[in-house]
Each structure stands twice: as C-alpha cells, then as structure tokens.
Chains A and B, each alone.
Chain A
Amino acid sequence: MKSSSFSQNVGKHDAATHILDGILMQGSLDGGDNPVIVDGRFEGDITATELTLREHGSIDGKVKGGAVTIAGTFKGELECDSLTIAATALVEGNVRTNALSIDMGAEVLGSISRIS
C-alpha cells in the first residue's frame, strides 16, 4: 500500500486527522468533528472530540477532548470526558476527566481530578 502512487490518491478523503511517526508539529490543532490520531510528536494545544495517542507518539502541551486514549507519552494538561490509559503509556501532569481507565503497567505521574 505504501508504494501506491501519490497522485492517484488526490481527493480521496480519510476522515481522521493523522500525524505520522517521525513528524514534528508545533502549534495548535483543532480536530473538528473528526478523530485525531497521533503517531508522531506534537507540541502545543489539541482540541478533539476523539484523540488517540499511539504507542510511539508524544504530546507535550494542553489537550481538551471528548474520548481520549493514550498509549504513548503525554506531558502537560489533559481535560476530557473519558480517558483510557494503555499499558505502554507515560502520563505526566494534570488530568481532569469524568471517566478513567488505567491499564496495568502504565506510568501516571501527577494529579487526577474530576471536571467539576
């Protein structure tokens, strides 16, 4: 699939915003109604209805979201409706969420509180 010609794919929409491994994005991202998947490095603010931070990805900054899944490295402030922290995750900072699940093996440093 990777070798498929670039020009053939023009105009074909993939619904999710996807930040690939190896890339560095600095700034602020609003995912709109579509999910955001981070495999690369992101520094800054993210707003998303659905955010997935994959195993090798990292986010440094503020995240505001609906359903958030973290399997990579997160540092900063996180506020979301529901949060799933996978076994491979490292989370450092302040977390505010209404529903939380942490898998065995995940490293979580910092404070966890509800959204009042």
Chain B
Amino acid sequence: MDNLIGRTIISVGASFTGKISNARAVEVNGVVKADIDAEKITIGKNGSFEGKIKAGLVVVSGTYDGTMDAGSVWATASARISGKIQYQTLQMDRGAALNCRVVHNWQADEAAQDAGSEQDDDGSTLSDGNSDLADTSTNDQVKE
C-alpha cells in the first residue's frame, strides 16, 4: 500500500472537489474537479479531471475538461480533451481525441531561451520528463 513513487494519488473510485496546492506530482485515476498547480500531472485511463491545470508536464490518458497551461503535454491514445491547451511541446498518440483550443505558447519558449542555462538547471526533473517524451516521439518516427 505504500506509495514509493512519490506522487499524490486520487485512486479509482475516489472523487475530489476543491483546490490542490503545493503539489509536485499528482496522479488522477478517479474524478477530480479542482484547480491545480503542480510539476507533473497524470490523468489515468479511468481518470477524469475538470478544472484549471498549470504544470510542467501533463500526461492525459483519461478525460480532461478545462484550461491547461503546460510545458509538455502528452495525450495518449485514450485521451479525451476538451477546453483549452496552452503548451510549449505537445505529443498526441494515434487515437487521442482533442476537442479543444490548442495554443502554442511561444512567448514562454522565448522567455525560457532568454533565461539561458540557469533555468535548465532549476527544472532538471522537469526536463527529464521532457526528454522522455522526446525520446518516445523520435522512436515513433523511426518506426514509421
């Protein structure tokens, strides 16, 4: 029962309504209606999330409705997204359903470049996640 991976989990069958703050990694397998600011958010296959998300990495395998502002967004094959996505990098697997406004946030991209290497050091855990995504996407391209 111990959670060794180090993330807050809303389990299958559970539901939460409210506000989540000060979170690092959050996994949603239940139903959540909340505003959240976190480093990494995973919406599992059975998960559903409604509300505002601000995060470095968002992995969506379930249902999302709301306004999302994320560094990296990965919509897996079972993703159902409505609302608005504001992103720097986006990966969409075959089968993912996006029924939303998708906006690339290039101003934040430029700001990140201007900030230079210092910011890269700060977001080390974040960029790990990004490189994971980047790796999988290049692999896919090679296969195809």
User: Which residue numbers of A lie inside 8 Å of B, CB to CB?
Assistant: 1-2, 4-7, 9-11, 13-20, 22-37, 40, 44
Contact = CB atoms under 8 A, between A and B. Distances in A.
B4 interface: yes
Given A16-B3, A37-B3, 6 more contacts: A7-B129, A13-B11, A20-B6, A24-B20, A27-B19, A32-B30
Interface of B: 1, 3-25, 27, 29-30, 34, 40, 42, 44-45, 57, 59, 61, 74, 76, 128-129, 132-133, 136
B23 A28 contact: no
Given A11-B44, A31-B14, A18 B57 contact: no
A32 B13 contact: yes
A13 B1 CA distance: 11
Contact of B5 (A1, A25, A35): A1
Contact of B34 (A4, A9, A27, A30): A27
Contacts, number: 123
Given A6-B42, A7-B59, A13 B20 contact: no
Closest 10 CB pairs of A and B: A27-B18, A32-B13, A1-B4, A17-B11, A34-B11, A18-B3, A17-B14, A32-B14, A18-B9, A26-B19
Nearest to B44: A11
Contacts of A11: 44-45, 61
Nearest to B129: A6
B22 A22 contact: yes
A33 B12 CA distance: 9
Contacts of A36: 14
A13 B29 CA distance: 8
B8 A18 contact: yes
Nearest to A50: B1
B11 A15 contact: yes
Contacts of B61: 10-11
A17 B30 contact: yes
10 contacts: A2-B5, A10-B44, A13-B11, A14-B3, A16-B11, A22-B22, A22-B23, A23-B22, A26-B18, A34-B13
A20 B25 CA distance: 9
A21 B120 CA distance: 26
